[in-house]
Amino acid sequence: MIFTAGVFTLPAMSPAAVKPLAKRRSCPICGKPIAAAHRPFCSVRCADVDLSHWLGGRYRIASEEEPEMDDLAEALRAEHGLESD
Ligand SMILES: [Zn+2]
C-alpha cells in the first residue's frame, strides 16, 4: 500500500465529499433502509435477489423448468397410453 491513512483524514476535505459514502445505508436492490440482520440488504429476500444475480439468474431458470417438467410428464403419460393401446 502506497497511501497512508492520513490521506483520508485531511481536515481540508469537505464533509460533503464524505457524506455520499456515509449515506450508503440503503438496500442496493430496492433502496429501502438496510436491516442490521441482513446487511448490506434490507431483507433476506433482497439478499436472495442479489445472489441470483451473481449466479446468473439460476433461480429464474429453475422456476421456468417446472412447466417443462409438467409437459414431460404429460408426454410420458401419452406415450404410456399409446403403448397400452
Ligand atoms: Zn431491499
Residue 49 Cα distances to 16, 24, 41, 45, 52, angstroms: 32, 19, 10, 6, 5
Q: How confident is the model at residue 39 (pLDDT cuts 50, 70, 90)?
A: very high
CA of 64 to the centre of ligand 1 (A): 24
Site of grid cell 435477489: 49
What mean pLDDT comes out for the span 40-54?
A: 92
Is this model's pTM higher than 0.75 or not? no
More confident of the two residues 13 and 35: 35
Distance of alpha carbon 44 from alpha carbon 35, whole angstroms: 9
State which residues have CB under 5 angstroms from ligand 1, the bound ion.
Answer: 27, 29-30, 32, 42, 46
CA of 41 to the centre of ligand 1 (A): 5
| Mean pLDDT computed over every residue of the chain | 72
